[in-house]
Amino acid sequence: MKPLGHKVWAIPGGHIPLRSTGRQPEFTSHDRLSILNTGDEEAQVEMTLFYADRDPIGPYPLTVEPRRVRVVRFNDLIDPEAVPLDTDYACVLESSVPVVVQFTRQDTRQAENALLSVMAFAVD
Amino acid sequence: MKPLGHKVWAIPGGHIPLRSTGRQPEFTSHDRLSILNTGDEEAQVEMTLFYADRDPIGPYPLTVEPRRVRVVRFNDLIDPEAVPLDTDYACVLESSVPVVVQFTRQDTRQAENALLSVMAFAVD
Amino acid sequence: MKPLGHKVWAIPGGHIPLRSTGRQPEFTSHDRLSILNTGDEEAQVEMTLFYADRDPIGPYPLTVEPRRVRVVRFNDLIDPEAVPLDTDYACVLESSVPVVVQFTRQDTRQAENALLSVMAFAVD
Amino acid sequence: MKPLGHKVWAIPGGHIPLRSTGRQPEFTSHDRLSILNTGDEEAQVEMTLFYADRDPIGPYPLTVEPRRVRVVRFNDLIDPEAVPLDTDYACVLESSVPVVVQFTRQDTRQAENALLSVMAFAVD
Distance from CA of B75 to the nearest CA of A (A): 19
* pLDDT the model gives residue C113: 87
Residue D82 touches chain A, beta carbons under 8 Å: no
Q: Which chains have at least 3 CB atom pairs separated by less than 8 Å from chain C?
A: B, D
Mean pLDDT score across all residues of chain A: 96
Q: Whole-prediction pTM value?
A: 0.98
Residue A1 included in any domain: no
Evaluate whether residue C35 is within a structural domain.
yes
B68 forms beta bridges with B37
Give the Å distances, CA to CA, from D31 to C16, C43, D5, D16, D102.
23, 26, 22, 6, 11
* Domain count for chain B: 1
The reply to whether C1 falls in a domain is: no
**pLDDT value at position D112?**
81
| Domain membership flag for residue D1 | no
Q: Residue B1: inside a domain, yes or no?
A: no
- The pLDDT tens digits of the residues spanning C42-65 come to 999 999 999 999 999 999 999 999
* Per-residue pLDDT tens digits for A60-81: 999 999 999 999 999 999 999 9
Whether residue D116 lies within 8 A of chain C, CB to CB, comes out as: yes
Residue B72 lies in a domain: yes
Sign of CA dihedral D72, D75, D81, D86: positive
- Taking only the tens place, the pLDDT of each residue in D35-67 is 999 999 999 999 999 999 999 999 999 999 999
CATH number of B99's domain: 2.60.290.11
Q: Residue D113: pLDDT band by 50, 70, 90 thresholds?
A: confident
The pLDDT of residue C1 is above 80: no
Q: Which residues contact D81 (CB under 8 A, 6 or more apart)?
A: D57
Would residue B35 count as lying in a domain? Answer: yes
Select from B30, B55, B123 the residue whose CB has the most chain A CBs within 10 Å, as the one to mutate to test that interface.
B123
Contact C35, C45 (CB under 8 A): yes
Is B90 in contact with A69 (Cβ distance < 8 A)? yes
B100 closest CA partner among B80, B79, B76, B124 = B124
Q: For residue D18, what pLDDT band results from cuts at 50, 70 and 90?
A: very high
Write out the residue range of the structural domain in which residue B98 sits. Answer: 6-122
pLDDT score recorded for residue D8: 98
C54 domain-assigned: yes
Q: Which of C34, C70, C112 sits opposite D112 (nearest CB)?
A: C112
Q: What is the dihedral of CA B37, B39, B42, B46, to 10 degrees?
A: -40
What's the whole-number mean pLDDT along residues D5-11?
Answer: 98
Contact B3, B41 (CB under 8 A): yes
Summarised one tens digit per residue, pLDDT across range B67-96 is 999 999 999 999 999 999 999 999 999 999
> Chain A within 8 Å of D123 (Cβ-Cβ)?
no
Distance from the C123 Cα atom to the nearest Cα atom in chain B, whole angstroms: 6
> Residue D124's pLDDT band (boundaries 50, 70, 90)?
confident
Residue B124 has pLDDT above 90, yes or no: no
Q: Which residues of A touch B119 (CB under 8 A)?
A: 119
Chain C interface test: which of B27, B34, B40, B69 (most C C-beta within 10 Å): B69
From B7's Cα to the closest Cα of chain A, the distance in A is: 13
pLDDT one-digit tens code per residue, A13-44: 999 999 999 999 999 999 999 999 999 999 99
Nearest residue of D to residue A90, measured between CA atoms: D69
How many angstroms separate the CA of residue C36 from the nearest CA in chain B?
19
Does A27 lie at the interface with D, CB-CB under 8 angstroms? no
Q: Are strands A89-107 and B68-73 parallel, antiparallel or unpaired?
A: unpaired
Of C51, C115, C116, the CB nearest to B69: C51
Distance from A1 to chain D by nearest Cα, in Å?
28
CB-based contact, B112 to chain C, within 8 Å: yes
Report how many Cβ contacts below 8 Å link chain C to chain D.
87
